[in-house]
Chain A
Amino acid sequence: MMLSVSIIQNVPRNHVSNFDATNSALRARLDRFLRDIERRALRMAILGAGHLDDAMELVQDSMLGFVKSYSDKPESDWAPLFFRVLDSRIQDHHRRQKVRGRWRVFFRNDADTQDLEDALAQVPDSNTPTPIESFLVAQASVAIDAALRALPDRQRQAFLLRIWEGLDVADTATAMGCSQGSVKTHLFRAMDALKRRLEDLR
Chain B
Amino acid sequence: MNREEQPAWLRATLGSLDEQAATLDAATLSRLNRMRQQALDQGLRGSRGRWRWPFAAFATACGVLLVIGMVSRLPTAGLVSPTTVMAPADYEMLVAGEDLELIEDLEFYAWLDQQSLDG
Q: Which residues of A contact B (CB under 8 A)?
A: 23, 26-27, 30-31, 34-35, 38-40, 42-43, 52, 56, 59-60, 63-64, 66-69, 71-72, 120, 123-127, 140-141, 144-145, 147-148, 160, 163-164, 191, 194-195, 198-202
Contact = CB atoms under 8 A, between A and B. Distances in A.
A43 B32 contact: no
B23 interface: yes
A89 B24 CA distance: 22
Interface of B: 7-10, 12-14, 16-17, 19-25, 28, 31-32, 35-40, 42-44, 46-48
Given A64-B43, A123-B25, A124-B23, A59 B35 contact: yes
A71 B10 contact: no
28 contacts: A23-B48, A35-B36, A39-B22, A42-B32, A43-B20, A59-B35, A60-B35, A60-B39, A63-B35, A63-B36, A63-B43, A64-B38, A64-B42, A67-B43, A68-B46, A71-B43, A123-B23, A123-B24, A123-B28, A125-B23, A140-B16, A144-B12, A144-B13, A163-B14, A164-B14, A191-B10, A194-B9, A201-B13
A27 B9 contact: no
Contact of B23 (A23, A56, A126): A126
Contacts of A144: 12-13, 16-17
A67 B10 contact: no
Given A42-B32, A67-B39, A164-B17, A199 B9 contact: yes
Given A43-B21, A125-B23, A201-B8, A67 B44 contact: yes
Given A39-B21, A43-B21, A123-B23, A56 B12 contact: no
Contacts, number: 114
B23 A67 contact: no
B9 A42 contact: no
Contacts of A194: 9-10, 13
A198 B20 contact: no
B9 A201 contact: yes
Main SS at interface, chain A: helix
A197 to B, nearest CB: 8
Given A23-B44, A39-B32, A123-B20, A64 B9 contact: no
Nearest to B11: A201
A39 B24 contact: yes
A195 B47 contact: no
A17 B32 CA distance: 30
A145 B9 CA distance: 13
Given A42-B24, A64-B39, 5 more contacts: A42-B21, A43-B20, A140-B16, A195-B10, A202-B12
Nearest to B28: A123
Contact of A195 (B9, B24, B31): B9
Nearest to A47: B17
3 smallest CB-CB distances across A and B, nearest first, come from A67-B43, A63-B39, A198-B9
A35 B30 CA distance: 12
A27 B24 CA distance: 24
